[in-house]
Structure 1
Amino acid sequence: MAHEVIKRIEELGPELAALAEENEKLGKLSDKTADLLRQTGVIRMLQPTDFGGYAAHPRDFAAAVMAIAANDPAAGWVAGVVGVHPWELAQMDRRLQQEIWGDDPDTWVASPYMPNGIADPVENDSFVLSGRWPFSSGSDHCQWDFLGAMKGDGSGRPLMPPEVMHVVLPRSDYQLIDDSWDVVGLCGTGSKDVVVDQAVVPSYRTVTQNDISDGTASARSGREEAVYKLSFGVMFPLGITAAVIGICEGALATHLAIQKDRVAVTGVQVRDDPYVLHAAGEAAAEIEASRVQLIEGIGRLHDIIENGGTPTTEERSNQRRNQVRCAWRAVSALDEIFARSGGVAIRKSSPMQRYWRDAHVGLQHMIHVDGVAYHSNSLHKMGLETPPGMLVTI
């Protein structure tokens, strides 16, 4: 079934690409783009089969996100972010899954996971949540939202030591701030701010970050598919990095199309310029290396679990290290070809400049910050103790 998703993306690719400029101007995905994404089935790839999903291999999900992003970076970004949420929801209470997907398996859930609010425990096994969260990608087309929060102590203050929760709210319990997404790239993702004021959240719509990170939630869910036993630290970044690589693949294809018939100011056809062609060939190799390394790595971890094993902390750390490097390598390659695309590439009418801006904004996401991922991995490689704060990232 996953291959059918890729096939539908290929068929709908030209339509997705044609809508990319409109999405940027709207500051969110158009209704038509959202409809096309639903037609592909990409958001349901990591959704459990008993709620209309495919429980697909994560490498297929990554490949699907790349294919969408190559046509429209914003649509690919939303597919990568929103598409990973069914994976986490599959490990949460079945009552919540029924509420979200029971009537419509194509219901989408947005997120910002950063713990910008406080979930204070109250009676009836519930929490009261308030706060404001930026960067809720695709939120205009989502009916629920994953929000990060600090667990409260009952008096409105966070517990100490802190405990981070993931809290799921229906659209009726939060407000989107329409003028909050004013950015230089990935404009079409509509990653608006979310505001919550004293929403009451039953505990079954929550999970602690530790439980989702260390496998407790997965074991509690009873789901046997290997995909749901992968760690949050390798699954959450997967769709985001896949989107960045797909953006770079789309930029490379656009660059080559421009160069094919371009004549430089010197009167030389660019296809006869060995320097430009060398840069394009090198960039193609670097972008493909990023694709292969990301997909092969997540596939390796999945296969370990499928065969009855458990990935080691070092193996998970290697994937996080490589995932970060894949994004930086691909965007660095894009920089090399953008610099050689000629003046036409900087015109707003050229998709080349949009790919370039979108790729760099994608690199700004916190999961692409290289310091912690590289630092932690080096400690693992030397057999030294890793600080607890770094373990949650893998």
Structure 2
Amino acid sequence: MNSVSKITRLSEGAPTATEMVEQIQRALPTLQAKCLSEEKAGRLSDETIQTLDKIGVFRISYPLEYGGLAYSVADQREIYTAVGKIAGSTGWVSWVTTTHGRWIAMFPKKAQDEVYGMDWVGPRISGVLSPLGPGKARRVEGGYMLSGRWSFCSGCRHTAWTIPGSMCIGPDGEPDMLLPLVPTSEFEILDDWAVSGMKATGSNTVQLVNEVFVPEHRVIRMKDANAGNWPCTPPLGQVLFLNNFLDYTTLLSGSTPLGMAKGALDYYMERLGKRGIVGTDYKVQSDAPVTHLQLVEATARIDAAERLLTADCNELDRRAAAGEPSDDLFQTKLKFDVAMSVRGCCEAIEILHRGSGASTIHEANPMQRYARDVRVATVHAHLNYETCAENYGRALIGKPLFGHYSVLEKKMLVA
């Protein structure tokens, strides 16, 4: 782990979100050229991490007093979308690790100093938060003893710290989800990331071979975090840290699929006047009516997804500024909106892929990569359209929402 450095404040020359998007766009050809080798390696390259770090991507969710940028949710959405145009893996790792960086502002000041104040190139936080396979924690003097195995820990090979969601039985005998902050160096990273898409996310399984002690100041309760009952005062004058951390993280997960769809559209448009359509008399693809239809169908889906996400981001920023608390209906709606936007982006990429010809099947071609990566996004547990739609429907008619922990899980935890 890198040494702790002096905490610095944001300089007056820090980039705006628009300026950062422009920098990412300029770096896109160079970073996209690394995608195939990154897929084969199963992780992003150090060069990609260093480039994104230099641009400032990993600081957009950190407090100003620690040299962060504290961009609004709407601005962060634009950043993650721009990175998603490079490749799904690049966008996904940037989103998941950097949004986790905002979570640290909920921890006690001592933990914030340890994470935000350190000298580190790249994202600082990875994590896994799932009720289906959490670790186990037991209370001891001064903190907790933690054990477990966590799958899908995206970006874990690049981070200094990891938040592995863990269950602990409370005094009342009920399960209590904890968010412990653990040095990534404490984990064994398994070489088990062999998948069909999002290949370079490095979403390996991490495990603690032996129990690890986590001091009190590096642990917060999930219930407290969701309710805004933090053991510290939110950074002053920074609206980003007044929103609900689950709403914030969930909503921005739609940014990478949107970026992929926009990248696929750019690729499609670049080739319209350069290729014909085999099996027809069209020497230039842009002359064919079917091309016009494909373009409109794809563009409509991308535009709809972007409008939906933008409106939700603006609403989340508004609620934070107004001090309005989150609620089950709003959280469920956000999840559905994201799932719907991801489905639309997936459909758009499928249309553009079909209209781009057989040359796109080459593994170095960005179009086939967008198609594979976005399909993986649609089957992610939190982006699954059918599940999110059903739960939102239950919320609309007043039925109980799906719970997090089953009786079986509770029994397994106690065992």
TM-score when scaled to structure 1?
A: 0.91
Q: Distance in 2 between matches of 1:92 and 1:190?
A: 26
Q: Deviation string for 1:82-101 (max 9, x for gaps)?
A: 11011111111111111112
Asked if residue 136 in structure 1 is aligned to residue 148 in structure 2, the reply is no
Moved more, 324-333 or 208-217: 208-217
In structure 1, what is the equivalent of residue 3 of structure 2?
none
**Higher mean Cα deviation, 35-44 or 109-118?**
109-118
CA–CA distance in 2 between the matches of 1:47 and 1:60?
A: 14
C-alpha distance in 1, partners of 2:386/2:232? 33
In 2 relative to 1, CA 152–162 (structure 1 residues): closer, same or farther, beyond 3 Å?
Answer: closer
Q: In percent, how many aligned pairs have the same letter?
A: 25
In structure 2, what is the equivalent of residue 272 of structure 1? 287
Which residue of structure 2 aligns with residue 148 of structure 1? 165
Q: Distance in 2 between matches of 1:387 and 1:311?
A: 15
Matched, 1:112 2:128: yes
Match of 1:223 in 2: 235
Q: Which residue of 2 aligns with 1:168?
A: 181
Cα deviations across residues 350-376 of structure 1 (Å, max 9, x unaligned)? 221111001111222221023443233
Higher helix share: 1
* Aligned mates of 1:162, 1:371 — CA distance in 2: 28
Change (3 A) 1:7 1:259: closer
Q: Which has the larger displacement, 137-146 or 254-263?
A: 254-263
1:281 pairs with 278, 293, 296, which one? 296
- Out of 192, 206, 218, the residue aligned to residue 180 of structure 1 is 192
SS of equivalent residue, structure 1 residue 305: helix
Residues 154-197 of structure 1, C-alpha deviation per residue, up to 9 Å, x if partnerless? Answer: 9xxxx8422111111112311111x2110111111111111112
Q: In 1, distance between residues paired with 2:95 and 2:325? A: 25
Match of 1:81, SS state, is: helix
Letter of the structure 2 residue corresponding to residue 116 of structure 1 = P
Q: 2: CA distance between counterparts of 1:318 and 1:239?
A: 14
Alpha-carbon shift at residue 326 of structure 1 (Å): 0.7
- Aligned position for 2:79: 64
Instruction: Tell whether 2:63 aligns with 1:48.
Output: yes
Q: How many pairs are equivalent?
A: 383
Q: Write out per-residue CA displacement over residues 25-49 of structure 1, whole angstroms, 9 at most, x where no aligned residue.
A: 2110011000011012111111111
TM-score for the superposition, normalised by structure 2: 0.86
Is contact 1:120–1:153 with CA below 8 Å preserved after alignment? no
Q: Which amino acid aligns with 1:111?
A: G
**Structure 2 residue identity aligned to 1:386:** P
In structure 2, distance between residues paired with 1:234 and 1:368:
13
Rounded Cα–Cα distance in structure 1 between residues aligned with 2:134 and 2:325: 33
Residue 79 in structure 1 maps to residue 94 in structure 2: yes
Partners of 1:176 and 1:139 lie apart in 2 by 8
**Partner residue, 1:122:** 140
The two structures, once aligned, show a CA RMSD in angstroms of 2.2
Q: Give the corresponding residue for 1:204.
A: 217
Cα distance between partner residues in 2 of 1:148 and 1:249: 33
Q: What are the ranges of 5 or more consecutive residues in structure 2 without an aligned counterpart? A: 1-15, 406-415
The alpha-carbon distance between structure 1 residues 308 and 170, as it changes in their structure 2 partners (threshold 3 A), is closer
Moved more, 93-102 or 61-70: 93-102
Aligned pair in 2 of structure 1 residues 328, 170: CA closer, same or farther (>3 Å)? same
User: CA separation of 1:33/1:4 partners in 2, compared to 1, >3 Å: closer, same or farther?
Assistant: same
Gaps of 5+ in 1: none
| CA separation of 1:332 and 1:202: change in aligned 2, threshold 3 A | same
Change (3 A) 1:198 1:346: same
Per-residue deviation, 1:311: 4.8
1:361, 1:387 → 2: CA distance?
25
What per-residue deviation string (whole Å, max 9, x for no partner) do you get for residues 286-315 of structure 1? 112111211221211211331344455433
